[in-house]
């Protein structure tokens, strides 16, 4: 029998992607699409807002009153929180207590201590025991922990692109001691969510850095890599997709073959990561190759004389950086097939 799923924050960019994937998934069933109690979209068909879903997703958006959150868990075994951090922080404990398994797309449970929330998210975290319990949903690296989890904190978009690129080198002990990787990344405008603001308005968006040495994803990447990083995001004038370019100083004497072996060891058999050095040597990951796909594409080149590698990572921020990674985590958690991620 199919597992029932509800999405809180269903009208947003990541929520709509989740609805499409759940509808196509043979072992999942959509049981509720929610927006806030006062939302002007309540009562509308989701597909009337996201018209690629016409004829695909039939559901209507329901208003969710704050005192009705537990009722979502009586309709659905799995609840996705596609909401901003503070709402996820408030709702996840109540949904867990009501018996749901929760997949949170926000950052509300991505750290295992409360300090980053006061420092970077503008609220004091009230649930240290859940921070301790939550499993970081970076699917290729945390499969075993995800299998037993009640609360999965799906990894952020830039952190997914950055960590999938850097963790194989870290795990193989190839990054020079004390070296601080510099990650330069660009994201499409959907990374900021669906709500209109001046900074994501068509006439305002340019290709420019933002959040320099202050972006919330810098501590998330550092925490889950296990070493500091310098992370510089850029806003790109395209709808979706991330490319991260990272230069890393290697341990003295590291060969290109050792770097190749580190990526092969990390990702052989992992169908959502595509290694360009194996599949199409000499070409590089790009936005076009990953948009609307669940893949992370990785390419790298080693300069043995200089002792550096440059790694390039590309994902769709709304899919591998959010919703398809959430479904990957569901598949792992409940032992389902990879559908609809690969070959579906």
Ligand X SMILES: NC(=O)c1ccc[n+]([C@@H]2O[C@H](COP(=O)([O-])OP(=O)(O)OC[C@H]3O[C@@H](n4cnc5c(N)ncnc54)[C@H](OP(=O)(O)O)[C@@H]3O)[C@@H](O)[C@H]2O)c1
Task: Say how far apart CA 306 and CA 315 lie, in whole Å.
Answer: 28
- Nearest distance from C-beta of residue 192 to ligand X, angstroms: 7
- Nearest distance from C-beta of residue 305 to ligand X, angstroms: 38
Q: Per the structure block, which two tokens stand in for 80?
A: 């996705």
| Secondary structure (H, E, C), the chain | CCEEEEEECCCCHHHHHHHHHHHHCCCEEEEEEEEECCCCCCCCEHHHHCHHHCCCCCCECEEECHHHHHHHHHHCCEEEECCCHHHHHHHHHHHHHCCCEEEECCCCCCCCCCHHHHHHHCCCCCCHHHHHHCEEECCCCCHHHHHCCCEEEECCHHHHHHHHHHHHHHHCCCECCCCCCEEEEEECHHHHCCCCCCCCCCCCCCCEECCCCCCCHHHHHHHHHCCCCEEEEEECCCCCCEEEEEEEEECCCCCHHHHHHHHHHHHCCCCCEEEHHHHCCCCCCCHHHHCCCCCEEEEEEEECCCCEEEEEEEECCCCCCCHHHHHHHHHHHHCCCCCCCCCC
- The residue (of 106 and 258) whose beta carbon lies closer to ligand X is 106
Name the residue among 233, 21, 8 with its Cα closest to residue 108. 8
- The residue (of 7 and 275) whose beta carbon lies closer to ligand X is 7
Which parts of this chain interact with ligand X (CB under 6 A)?
A: 8-15, 34-36, 39, 41, 64, 82-85, 87, 105-106, 156-157, 190-191, 193-195, 317-318, 321-322
- Nearest distance from C-beta of residue 106 to ligand X, angstroms: 3
- Nearest distance from C-beta of residue 90 to ligand X, angstroms: 8
- The residue (of 249 and 323) whose beta carbon lies closer to ligand X is 323
Active site residue 5: no
- Nearest distance from C-beta of residue 53 to ligand X, angstroms: 14
- Nearest distance from C-beta of residue 178 to ligand X, angstroms: 31
Catalytic residue among 5, 157, 272, 296: 157
- The residue (of 37 and 265) whose beta carbon lies closer to ligand X is 37
- The residue (of 14 and 293) whose beta carbon lies closer to ligand X is 14
- The residue (of 193 and 228) whose beta carbon lies closer to ligand X is 193
Starting at the earlier edge strand, list the strands of the sheet with 78-81.
62-64, 28-36, 3-8, 78-81, 101-104, 151-154, 135-137
Residues belonging to the active site = 157
């Amino acid at each position: 029998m199919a597992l029932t799923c509800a999405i809180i924050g269903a009208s947003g960019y990541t929520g709509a992607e989740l609805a499409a994937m759940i509808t196509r998934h043979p072992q999942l069933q959509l049981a509720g699409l929610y927006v806030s109690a006062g939302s002007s979209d309540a009562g509308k068909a989701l597909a009337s807002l996201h018209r690629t879903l016409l004829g695909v997703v039939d559901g209507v958006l329901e208003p969710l009153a704050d005192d009705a959150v537990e009722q979502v868990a009586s309709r659905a075994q799995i609840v996705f929180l596609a909401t901003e951090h503070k709402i996820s922080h408030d709702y996840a404990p109540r949904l867990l207590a009501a018996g749901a398994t929760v997949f949170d797309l926000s950052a509300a449970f991505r750290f295992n201590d409360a300090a980053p929330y006061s420092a970077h998210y503008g609220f004091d975290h009230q649930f240290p025991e859940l921070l301790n319990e939550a499993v970081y949903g970076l699917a290729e690296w945390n499969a075993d922990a995800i299998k037993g989890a009640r609360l999965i904190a799906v990894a952020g978009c830039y952190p997914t692109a950055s960590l999938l690129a850097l963790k194989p080198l870290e795990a193989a002990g190839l990054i020079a001691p004390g070296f601080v990787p510099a990650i330069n990344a660009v994201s499409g405008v959907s990374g900021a969510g669906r709500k209109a603001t001046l900074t994501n308005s068509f006439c305002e968006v340019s290709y420019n850095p933002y959040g320099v040495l202050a972006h919330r994803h810098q501590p998330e990447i550092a925490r889950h890599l296990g070493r500091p990083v310098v992370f510089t995001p850029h806003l790109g004038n395209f709808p979706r997709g991330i490319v991260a370019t990272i230069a890393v100083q290697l341990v003295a004497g590291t060969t290109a073959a050792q770097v190749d072996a580190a990526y092969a060891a990390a990702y052989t058999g992992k169908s959502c990561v595509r290694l360009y050095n194996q599949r199409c040597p000499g070409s590089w990951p790009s936005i076009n190759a990953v948009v609307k796909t669940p893949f992370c594409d990785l390419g790298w080149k080693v300069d043995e004389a200089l002792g550096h590698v440059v790694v390039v990572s590309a994902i769709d921020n709304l899919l591998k950086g959010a919703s398809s990674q959430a479904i990957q985590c569901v598949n792992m958690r409940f032992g389902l097939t990879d559908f609809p991620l690969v070959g579906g």
